[in-house]
Amino acid sequence: MGAPAVASADPNPAPPPPPPPLNLGVLAPAKPSEFAMQDGAMYGFAVPGDIACVISRDSGNYGCSGPIPAAPDGANMVTGAQQGSPGFAKADRPLYVFQTLPNRLLPGTRLSFRNVTCGTDGTVTQCTNSFDGGGFVISPAGSFVLGPSNPLLLNTGEGSNPYVN
């Protein structure tokens, strides 16, 4: 007796791992006044790939829009807040409209406001919040979200704070 032959194919190779996040603390601080826009209501800056980014001085929200390389589902924008995970999205128009790109954030520099810091090494751009570590990475090798990582803020699912009785 024989069994019918089953065709098999090699599985698709695993995607390459994403690039490691930048250590924003080692990047040189940029001068915020060089990026102030809309009467100081926001900081606007361009990063590699001619992507426009902002940090709002009113809300502390931050994000980038433009041709984001290797973005999930072809997204062309990513936004985040003072805490929590940012999200990628796709829109038919830019999130931030500038007559020309804002001043370029130079390689090896970072711009900070409140607990949000954005920086670039000239290839990879990263924005994170220091409250819980949420943020995003924009890179030709893969653009992705950095989930919150502060263990003191994680929801245990038990409905109570594990550090307070």
The total of structural domains in the chain comes to 1
pTM for this entry: 0.78
Check whether 70 has a pLDDT greater than 70. Answer: yes
154: pLDDT confidence band, cut at 50, 70 and 90? very low
pLDDT at 32: 95
Q: Is residue 77 part of a domain?
A: yes
Three-class secondary structure assignment of the chain: CCCCCCCCCCCCCCCCCCCCCCCHHHCEECCHHHHEECCCCEEEEEECCCEEEEEECCCCCEEEECCCCCCHHHCCEEEECCCCCCEEECCCCCCCCCCCCCCECCCCEEEEECCEEEEECCCCEEEEECCCCCEEEECCCCCEEECCCCHHHCCCCCCCCCCCC
Q: Is residue 74 part of a domain?
A: yes
Check whether 21 has a pLDDT greater than 80. Answer: no
Q: Is residue 72 part of a domain?
A: yes
Q: Is residue 119 part of a domain?
A: yes
Q: Is residue 17 part of a domain?
A: no
Q: Is residue 22 part of a domain?
A: no
The tens digit of pLDDT for each residue in 26-57 reads: 999 999 999 999 888 999 999 999 999 999 99
Domain that holds residue 93: 27-147
Q: Is residue 117 part of a domain?
A: yes
